[in-house]
């Protein structure tokens, strides 16, 4: 499938998954404040923009963390800052990367140093593939391809 003209939200809507209600201004401000203060990392604008439209998502095995935790059935989507703090407790190889989601055996993270989104092997911590924006990263994982 082609990514041409599809927004990230449109790709997520077309996938087999779950979108959450948009984060409100207080939730967004709290997530931004906590990410800066507790993680020392700045969430990228495109990620924060997605939270304004869907506060986290699950689509075709891809999970995008929200500004707050979402529980349903026997499953939950973690909150951005909490999951990053948890991972810092036992993963020092992920320093300087803001984890924004995951899929199967991979973390999905943003590294401010190079302004790129990365797929990261959960076991080794190796950076395996990158994308210039969240739309390209998630679109690739959902089977959408850029058109020339």
How many Å apart are CA 58 and CA 80, to the nearest integer? Answer: 14
Q: Is residue 2 part of a domain?
A: no
Where is average pLDDT lowest: 11-15, 127-131, 144-148?
144-148
CATH code assigned at 92: 3.40.1580.10
The whole-model pTM stands at: 0.92
Task: Identify whether the C-beta of residue 63 lies closer than 8 Å to the C-beta of residue 101.
Answer: yes
Task: Give the mean pLDDT of 82-95.
Answer: 88
Q: Could you give the number of structural domains in the chain?
A: 1
In a domain, 148, yes or no: no
Range of the domain at 102: 8-68+77-141
- Per the prediction, the chain carries an average pLDDT of 92
Answer yes or no: is 1 within a domain: no
Residue 49 located in a structural domain: yes
Q: What is the CA radius of gyration of the chain?
A: 14
Whether 146 is in a domain gets the answer: no
Whether 25 maps to a domain, the answer reads yes
d(CA 125, CA 38): 22
Residue 14 token pair? 């077309």
DSSP codes joined into one string, 19-52: E-PPPPHHHHHHHHHHIIIII-----HHHHHHHT
Condensed to tens digits (0 to 9), the pLDDT of residues 36-80 reads: 999 999 999 999 999 999 999 999 999 999 999 999 888 899 999
Residue 82 has pLDDT above 60, yes or no: yes
**Lookup: tokens for 122:** 């959960």
Q: Is 59 within the bounds of a domain?
A: yes
Q: Please determine, for residue 147, whether its predicted confidence score (pLDDT) is greater than 80.
A: no
Tokens of residue 24, six digits: 């409100």
């Amino acid at each position: 499938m082609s990514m041409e003209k599809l927004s990230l939200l449109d790709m997520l809507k077309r996938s087999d998954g779950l979108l959450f209600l948009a984060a409100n201004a207080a939730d967004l401000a709290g997530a931004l404040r906590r990410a800066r203060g507790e993680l020392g990392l700045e969430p990228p604008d495109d990620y924060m923009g997605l939270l304004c439209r869907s506060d986290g998502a699950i689509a075709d095995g891809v999970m995008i963390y929200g500004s707050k935790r979402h529980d349903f059935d026997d499953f939950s989507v973690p909150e951005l800052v909490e999951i990053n703090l948890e991972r810092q407790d036992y993963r020092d190889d992920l320093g300087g990367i803001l984890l924004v989601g995951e899929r199967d055996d991979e973390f999905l993270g943003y590294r401010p140093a190079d302004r790129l989104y990365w797929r990261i092997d959960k076991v080794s911590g190796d950076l395996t593939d990158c994308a210039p924006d969240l739309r390209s990263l998630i679109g690739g994982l959902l089977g959408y391809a850029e058109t020339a």
